[in-house]
Amino acid sequence: MSDQPDMNEFSARSPDTLERVRVGLAARYRRERRFRMYGLMSTCLGLLFVLFLFVSIISNGYTAFWQTQVRLEIDFDAQLIDPDGTGDAKIIGSANFDKLVRTAVGQLFPEVTDRRGRRSLNRLMSAGAGFELREMTLADPALIGTRQTLWLPADDEVDMLIKGYIDRDVPEGSRRIKDQQILWVDALIADERIERQFNTDFFRLGDSREPELAGIGGAIKGSFFMLVVTIALSFPLGVAAAVYLEEFAPKNRWVDVLEVNINNLAAVPSIVFGLLGLAVFINFFGLPRSAPLVGGLVLTLMTLPTIIIASRAAIKSVPPSVRQAALGVGASQMQTVFHHVIPLAMPGMLTGAIIGMARALGESAPLLMIGMIAFIVEVPGTPLEPSTALPVQIYLWADSPERAFVERTSAAIMVLLAFLLVMNGAAIWMRKRFERRW
């Protein structure tokens, strides 16, 4: 080679090379450590956010699972409930049960006689106490005329006081519970008439303006109906579409467009699906507003791309040899797909479907568009009755100023997250359990 001398000179620099490398090393390792540090910090930051989010929600919400109850001796006065002893549910139902509660509270503090004092005393009890008595009496009319010792829900301000959310040192004017009421509550505590009990109403009841009567029962039922509609429509449709695209579709422009379209649809903002639902399902087809059926339809369209994509991946992972084997023994293409490919891809498709459902369960923006944001007290009985959904209920409560609603919002979030955790856990478990390496 012509540059032989040059080459020797080059290699003669060898010790020099080593020296030069060595000189730079310390700085390079510093940079290396710094870079690694950035990575570690970012990761920790991410973990910290998770922790912060959960701590902030759980610490705000865990108390909502308990409700302060007051022990009262209720006199089921026949004179008041059913004076003529008819036993007619209509008459019993329209009786003034609040008065029973008021009387029982008044008996505890006979010294309070003036109207203002009485009214303020009555406010210690929830408006729901009367409802509870009414339900009890309707269920068991034999109670009329008896005297029972019962635990009845306290007002949300009392509840907040007991749970320690109200600072007694704040001047009376700037808190919603008065000094006198605090004294009464303390007297009740001293008398062991106040207790925190597990809050079953929270899971049973629908929405209410009174925090202690507001529950997520209606919202859960609404979400349940919606998910049923969604899974019943989106899973078969998604699997069918995926089967067609993977197994039968010719390779042409139309299918390319379909594919690009599905991928894009998966990234379209959810609120746009809400606009679609409003314009098409409600305005065009005239379906009822606020109905879980419409919500389910909107969520179906929203989750369909996710399920199609997951199902296609699952079908793709079934090796061609399985198809060839089936075709080889004379099965038609359709039989091959239905007898072999789909059963083998089923775990993957179900995993995708569960993840899609989890997304649908947490979705709220499109539901606002189709009117599922209404204030609905009744727990819906069918998918056509007006209803709300769990995430929308959270959104509604988040706007309420009462401290007791902050607690309930956080608790509702905890319930929602628990559902999501279970669903995602099931998906992960299924993926692990049925994962097949070919």
Q: Which of residues 49 and 198 has its CB atom nearest to another protein in the complex?
A: 49
Could you say whether residue 5 binds another protein (CB under 8 A)? no
For the bound state, the minimum distance from the C-beta of residue 307 to another protein, rounded and expressed in Å, comes to 11
For the bound state, the minimum distance from the C-beta of residue 355 to another protein, rounded and expressed in Å, comes to 9
For the bound state, the minimum distance from the C-beta of residue 263 to another protein, rounded and expressed in Å, comes to 5
**Strand, coil or helix: 245:** helix
Of residues 272 through 311, those in contact with another protein by CB under 8 A are 272-276, 278-280, 283-284, 286, 301, 304-305, 308
The structure tokens listed for 354 are 């569960």
For the bound state, the minimum distance from the C-beta of residue 265 to another protein, rounded and expressed in Å, comes to 6
Could you say whether residue 56 binds another protein (CB under 8 A)? yes
Of residues 413 through 432, those in contact with another protein by CB under 8 A are 413, 416-417, 420, 424, 428
Of residues 107 through 166, those in contact with another protein by CB under 8 A are none
The structure tokens listed for 408 are 């309930």
Of residues 339 through 358, those in contact with another protein by CB under 8 A are 358
For the bound state, the minimum distance from the C-beta of residue 372 to another protein, rounded and expressed in Å, comes to 10
Provide CB contacts within 8 A for 289, sequence distance 6+: 282, 370, 371, 374, 386
Could you say whether residue 92 binds another protein (CB under 8 A)? no
For the bound state, the minimum distance from the C-beta of residue 350 to another protein, rounded and expressed in Å, comes to 17
Provide CB contacts within 8 A for 167, sequence distance 6+: 175
Handedness of CA 184, 190, 196, 201 (dihedral sign): negative
Task: Identify the CA nearest to 98 among candidates 138, 132, 64, 137.
Answer: 132
What string of DSSP letters covers 380-428? Answer: PSSTTS----HHHHHHHHHT--SHHHHHHHHHHHHHHHHHHHHHHHHHH
Binding test (CB under 8 A) with another protein, winner from 95, 152, 349, 406:
406
For the bound state, the minimum distance from the C-beta of residue 7 to another protein, rounded and expressed in Å, comes to 6
**Strand, coil or helix: 69:** strand
Q: Which of residues 53 and 142 has its CB atom nearest to another protein in the complex?
A: 53
**Strand, coil or helix: 77:** coil
Q: How many residues does the chain have?
A: 438
What string of DSSP letters covers 115-156? Answer: HHHHHHHHTTB-THHHHHHHHHHHH-GGGTT-EEEEEEEBPH
Could you say whether residue 375 binds another protein (CB under 8 A)? no
Of residues 319 through 338, those in contact with another protein by CB under 8 A are 332-334
Provide CB contacts within 8 A for 245, sequence distance 6+: 255, 258, 259, 308, 312
For the bound state, the minimum distance from the C-beta of residue 226 to another protein, rounded and expressed in Å, comes to 14
For the bound state, the minimum distance from the C-beta of residue 131 to another protein, rounded and expressed in Å, comes to 24
Range in contact with another protein (rule: CB under 8 A) among 117-125, 133-141, 154-162, 270-278: 270-278
157 in Cβ contact with 163 (< 8 Å):
no
x/- binding map, residues 10-49, to another protein, per CB under 8 A?
A: xx-xx--xx-xxxxxx--xx-xx-xxx-xxxxxx-xxx-x
Binding test (CB under 8 A) with another protein, winner from 187, 260, 325, 422:
260
Of residues 63 through 82, those in contact with another protein by CB under 8 A are none
Of residues 158 through 177, those in contact with another protein by CB under 8 A are none
Give burial (CB, 10 Å; 0-12/13-18/19+) of 367.
buried
What is the rounded end-to-end Cα distance, in angstroms, of the chain? 54
x/- binding map, residues 378-397, to another protein, per CB under 8 A?
A: -------------xx-xx--
Could you say whether residue 187 binds another protein (CB under 8 A)? no
